[in-house]
Structure 1
Amino acid sequence: MASVNSEHRFDVLVVGSGASGLNLALELAAFARVAVITKSELHESNTYYAQGGIAAVLDEHDSMQSHITDTLDAGAGLCDEDVVKFIVEHGRESIEKLASYGVEFTTQVGDAGNNEYHLTREGGHSHRRVVHAADATGQAIETTMEERVREAENVTVFEHHNAVDLWCERDIHGRSKRVTGLHALNTKSGEVLAFSAPFVVLATGGVSKVYLYTSNPDICTGDGIAMAWRAGCRVANMEFTQFHPTCLYHPQAKSFLVSEAVRGEGGLLKRPDGTRFMDDFDPRGELAPRDIVARAIDYEMKRLGAPCMYLDISHKGQDFIEEHFPMIYASTKQFGFDMAKEPLPVVPAAHYTCGGVVVDKNGHTDVEGLYAIGEVTYTGLHGGNRLASNSLLECLVYSTAAARDIRDRLHQGQMNEDTLPPTTPPWDESYVTEPDEEVVIAHNWEELRRFMWDYVGIVRTNKRLARAHTRIDMLQAEIIEYYGNTRVTGDLLELRNLAVCAELIIRCAQHRKESRGLHFTLDYPKLTKKTPKPTVLVPRRYPGTERRSA
Structure 2
Amino acid sequence: MKTEVLVIGAGISGCISALTAAEKGVEVILLTQGEDLFTGNTRLAQGGIVYTGPEDSPKILENDIRTAGWNYNYSKALRTLTKHGPEALKHILLDKYPVPFAREEDGEYSLTREGGHAVQRILYCADHTGQSIMEVLSKAVISNHNITVCTQRTAIDILTNHHHAKSTEMRYCLSNKCLGAYVYNESINAVETILANYTVLATGGLGQIYLHTTNSTGSIGSGIAMATRAKVRVINSEMVQFHPTAFYQGARSRASRRFLISEAVRGEGAKLINCYGEAFMPRYDPRADLAPRDIVTRSIQEEMLRTGEECVYLDAANHVDHNLSKRFPTIFGRCAEAGIDMDSKPIPVVPAAHYFCGGVLVDDKGKTTLDRLYAVGECSCTGVHGANRLASTSLLEGLLWGYNAGKDIVAQAARKSSLSRKLMDSIPDWDNSSTNTNEDPALIAQDWMLIRSIMWNYVGITRSSARLSRAMYDLQNLNRDLRSFYKRTPLSRPIVDLFHGCQAALSVTAAASKNKESLGCHYRVD
Q: TM-score, normalised by structure 1?
A: 0.90
Give matches, 1:272-421, under 5 Å: 272-316=275-319, 320-415=323-418, 421=424
Counterpart for residue 514 of structure 2: 511
Corresponding position of 1:458: 461
Secondary structure of the structure 1 residue equivalent to 2:149 = strand
Give 3-state SS (helix, strand or coil) of 1:386's partner: coil
User: Contact 1:15–1:201 at 8 Å: present in 2 too?
Assistant: yes
* Contact kept? 1:181, 1:424, Cα under 8 Å: no
Q: How does 1:431-450 map to 2 (within 5 A)?
A: 431-435=434-438, 437-450=440-453
The CA deviation at 1:276 is 0.9
- Of 109, 112, 118 in structure 2, the residue corresponding to residue 117 of structure 1 is 109
1:62 equivalent to 2:56? Answer yes
Cα distance, 1:94 vs. partner? 2.9
Number of residue pairs matched? 511
Counterpart-to-counterpart distance in 2, 1:508 and 1:128: 35
Cα-to-partner distance string for 1:412-443 (whole Å, 9 max, x where unaligned): 11127668744742222124322253322211
Residue identity matched to 2:143: E
Question: Is 1:134 the counterpart of 2:126 in the alignment?
Answer: yes
Tell me the amino acid that sits aligned with residue 72 of structure 1.
R
8 A Cα contact 1:168 1:176, kept in partner: no
Matching of residues 497-536 of structure 1 within 5 Å? 497-523=500-526
Q: Which residue identity is paired with 1:101? A: Y
Shift of 1:363: 0.7
Q: C-alpha separation between the residues in 2 aligned to 1:107 and 1:458?
A: 37
CA displacement, residues 303-352 of structure 1 (integer Å, 9 cap, x when unaligned): 22211000001025686212211111112111111111110000000000
- Displacement of 1:64 in angstroms is 1.1
Question: What is the Cα deviation at residue 127 of structure 1?
Answer: 0.5
Q: Post-superposition, which runs of at least 4 consecutive aligned residues in structure 1 deviate over 3 A?
A: 171-176, 316-319, 416-424
Opposite residue 346 of structure 1, the aligned amino acid is V
Secondary structure at the aligned position of 2:7 is classed as: strand
Residue 15 (structure 1) aligns with: 8
Cα distance change, pair 419–407 in 1 and its aligned pair in 2 (3 A) = farther
Q: Percent identity?
A: 39
Matched residue, 1:45:
40
- CA-based RMSD of the aligned residues comes to 1.7
Report the counterpart of residue 149 of structure 2 in structure 1: 157
> Could you tell me which residue of structure 2 aligns to residue 531 of structure 1?
none
Q: Which amino acid aligns with 2:208?
A: K
- Aligned: 1:105 with 2:96: no
Report the counterpart of residue 195 of structure 1 in structure 2: 194
How many angstroms apart in 2 are the aligned matches of 1:420 and 1:141?
39
CA distance in 1, matches of 2:425, 2:71: 44
Deviation at 1:101, TM superposition (A): 0.7
Describe the SS at the equivalent of 1:107.
Answer: coil
- Tell me if the contact between 2:439 and 2:495 (Cα under 8 Å) persists in the aligned partners: no
**Structure 1's 436 and 262: CA in aligned 2 closer, same or farther, altered over 3 A?**
closer
Aligned residue type for 2:84: H
Unaligned runs of 5+ in 1: 1-7, 524-550
**Would you say 1:26 and 2:19 are equivalent positions?**
yes
CA distance in 2, matches of 1:121, 1:127: 6
State how far apart, in whole Å, the 1-side matches of 2:172 and 2:444 are.
Answer: 33
SS of the residue aligned with 1:10?
Answer: strand
Provide the C-alpha distance between the structure 2 equivalents of 1:456 and 1:37, rounded to a whole number of angstroms: 31
The aligned residue for residue 144 of structure 1 is 136
2: CA distance, partners of 1:430 / 1:420: 24
Contact 2:269 2:320 in 1 (8 A): no
Query: Conserved in 1, the CA contact under 8 Å of 2:9 and 2:203?
Result: yes
Any idea what SS the aligned residue of 1:90 has? helix
For the residues of structure 2 that align with 1:257 and 1:46, how far apart are their CA atoms? 12
Offset from partner CA, 1:195-223 (integer Å, 9 cap, x none): 11110100000111110000001110111
Structure 2 counterpart of 1:183, which letter? Y
Q: Is the contact between residue 85 and residue 397 of structure 2 (CA under 8 Å) also seen in structure 1?
A: no
How far apart are residue 62 of structure 1 and its match?
1.3
Match in the other structure for 2:228: 229
Question: Cα 1:176–1:496, aligned 2, differ >3 Å: closer, same or farther?
Answer: farther
Contact 1:183–1:194 under 8 Å retained in 2: yes
Confirm or deny: 8 A CA contact 2:161 2:171 kept in the other structure: no
Check 1:319–1:66 CA distance in 2 against 1; reply closer, same or farther (3 A cut). closer
**Is 1:166 matched with 2:158?**
yes
Q: Distance in 2 between matches of 1:448 and 1:417?
A: 42
Secondary structure of the structure 1 residue equivalent to 2:457: helix
1:102, distance to aligned residue in structure 2 (A)? 2.4
Q: Distance in 1 between matches of 2:305 and 2:496?
A: 35
TM-score (norm 2): 0.94
